[in-house]
Amino acid sequence: MNVTRKLFDEVMVPNYNPAATIPVKGLGSRLWDQTGAEFIDFAGGIAVNVLGHCHPELVKTLQEQSEKVWHLSNVLTNEPALRLAKKLTQATFAEKVYFANSGAEANEAALKLARRYAVDNFGSEKNQIIAFNQGFHGRTFFTVTVGGQAAYSDGFGPKPSAIDHIDYNDLAALETLISDKTCAVMMEPIQGEGGVVSPESEFVKGVRTLCDKHNALLIFDEVQSGVGRTGDLYAYMGLDVTPDILTTAKSLGGGFPIAAMLTTTEIAKHLKVGTHGSTYGGNPLGCAVAEKVLDIVNTPEVLDGVKHKEALFRSGLEKINTQYQCFSEIRGKGLLLGAVLNEQYAGRSRDFLVAAAAENLMCLVAGANVVRFAPSLVISDEDILEGLSRFERAVAKTVAS
């Protein structure tokens, strides 16, 4: 069979428009396509390949588990799931864990739990969910409606109700909107898809205070920011604010599909038997790999290394900007960084991405005005410097066009 980009258009639903390049092999922060061309990966599968491609310890763990048991369903539990849940509770505020397969599913579970908790404790009138403009929480109908980007949720008929949006970092707006009818506030501790926007300290602490005042649960969507991405195991740890529910996916499996919702015993008890479920949730293969990811990432060596690599990225990007004057700022935290285009280049983030790909560098965008970087947390300094060199060539060509 001749497998080409053209075949995608013949057999795949057209909701994606992938690049012409088809990678066939990966190792560390390098990828090779069908022609043998080598790329440096600053995209990380959209903040997923937390330990790069084909990390030897993950490969070994997956091979070992593949010879034991693959799937049991939730009729039975399994050892990898129990070990992973124990380690997640030991490493975080949480006491209970629910496993799913994707960030959207973890967020769906979090939202359903918040509604059920409110109904059980305060009655059906306490159902309002407050979220933030430009937020992103997944593509199920519930999560895409809670996400603050109408372009993703419009056009599918009536939406789930009692969901309101305000601007990120606008504490006054939240104070005006929140009430005793609010059951939850859902936010990313760094907005990823919405432009790599960090929360102001006063804002995030104020959100916690207002949730406490109105008996609303605070849900942190850490699908993109979690598992070491910011230099803390989870971003909440660097904000001095603890949520009631936290969702995690993407980097959790290092590339193997797995997600989790973390919460307290008191809140978790409202998802009693039969109220929610997932056929593949807690899959032994995914849990075994995620346990190894957690063991590797949750170490001073890796987490401190993220802070060092962030400094290297920022220094390189600022040096590029000194020469080409195309970015208004470099924002984000750890290895979730965004180069924000200035007014002269507004709306052209995809041009920079395409130019980077032509220089054999893979990066991302976060909207039309931000070039986003979310590489492996263990990417070598050499690969960072070489990737930045390629990015500089891409910037030079884009600026000149």
Residues noted as catalytic: 136, 221, 250
Supply 251's token pair: 């980097």
Separation CA 83–CA 74 (nearest Å): 16
Task: Say if CB 355 and CB 280 are below 8 A apart.
Answer: no
Burial (CB < 10 A; 0-12, 13-18, 19+), residue 336, is buried
Q: How many CB atoms lie within 10 A of CB 12?
A: 10
Supply 74's token pair: 């939730």
Torsion (CA) 219, 224, 227, 228 in degrees, nearest 10: -120
Torsion (CA) 208, 211, 217, 220 in degrees, nearest 10: -30
The secondary structure of residue 335, as a DSSP letter, is: T
Give the list of residues 6+ apart from residue 366 with CB closer than 8 angstroms, or none.
Answer: 192, 193, 194, 195, 196, 338, 349, 372
Torsion (CA) 242, 147, 127, 189 in degrees, nearest 10: 10
